[in-house]
Amino acid sequence: MDLSRFDTPRYLSVLPLFGDCRPADLQHLAEDCQLTRYARGEPVFRCGDPCDAFHVVVTGQVKLHAISASGQEKVIRLVGAGYSFGETLVFGQRPCSVNATALGDTLVLTLRKQALLAEVARDPRLALRLLAGMSEQVHGLMSDVEAYALHSGTQRVVNYLLRERRPCEDGGSLVSLPVSKATIASRLSITPEYFSRVLAELEAGHMISVQRRDIRIVDAQRLARHGLQ
């Protein structure tokens, strides 16, 4: 993509968050946006950095993650194209509490905090849309806490596969892992070794078939029943 020819106002207009903004307001916002290309492993921001911007993934993927003092990583959220991140941080006065890292060649559109706040002051409806987005994120985090507390590792893997499956032309369903198995395992709060072992057990039970990052659901009903055990 030629960054110099990127139409920022047009891109903002198709995002649910800014869809109701007037063309003049979109043009004003675009003047405070910056489009940046990140290579795989390159940080968008680090834990401890000032929370001075709001971000949208244009292409690629970003992971939000925390790193313990011992170096262990916990993936909190995976953000794909068309989705935003940083909105829950930008309205506070504290520094960033997580890291944001590109998982591949990724384009990120960044809007400065002051420009976003100015637009909220002009259009209170934007604040409501931001609150709705943040509410969805909090709901997702609460669901994660519930899963970690009440579901076994096997149940988390099964639920992930059933949730992420997509229909195939032959009537079956397929899960194409968007990132490495280690990253998915961290997102599910299990070790990579445990994740691989569960996949192997499900494959041995003829419930799934694994081909590298493609996981075919062979028997969805048996898989769902297995997740209830």
Q: Please check whether residues 16 and 76 belong to one and the same domain.
A: yes
Q: Please check whether residues 9 and 56 belong to one and the same domain.
A: yes
Q: Please check whether residues 34 and 133 belong to one and the same domain.
A: yes
- Answer with the one of 149, 183, 212 that is the final residue of a domain: 149
Q: Please check whether residues 171 and 84 belong to one and the same domain.
A: no
Mean pLDDT calculated for residue range 54-75: 92
Q: Mark residue 110 as left, alpha or beta (left: phi above 0; alpha: psi -120 to 50; beta: remaining).
A: beta
What is the extent of the structural domain holding 69?
3-149
Q: Please check whether residues 117 and 168 belong to one and the same domain.
A: no
Q: Please check whether residues 84 and 178 belong to one and the same domain.
A: no
pLDDT at 1: 62
89 contacts 51 by C-beta, under 8 angstroms: yes
Ordered DSSP codes for 119-149: HHHH-HHHHHHHHHHHHHHHHHHHHHHHHHH
Give the residue from 56, 195, 202 showing the smallest Cα distance to 130. 56
Judging by beta carbons within 10 Å of its beta carbon (0-12, 13-18, 19+), is residue 36 exposed, middle or buried?
A: middle
Q: Please check whether residues 124 and 204 belong to one and the same domain.
A: no
CATH of the domain at 217: 1.10.10.10
Q: Please check whether residues 11 and 119 belong to one and the same domain.
A: yes
Give the residue from 204, 207, 226, 227 showing the smallest Cα distance to 217. 207
Q: What is the pTM of this model?
A: 0.79
Positive or negative: CA dihedral 157, 210, 222, 204: negative
- Answer with the one of 114, 149, 184 that is the final residue of a domain: 149
Positive or negative: CA dihedral 67, 55, 139, 226: negative
pLDDT at 2: 61
141-185 per-position pLDDT tens digit: 788 777 777 789 999 999 999 999 998 877 789 999 988 999 999
Q: What total number of domains does the chain contain? A: 2
Q: Please check whether residues 31 and 120 belong to one and the same domain.
A: yes
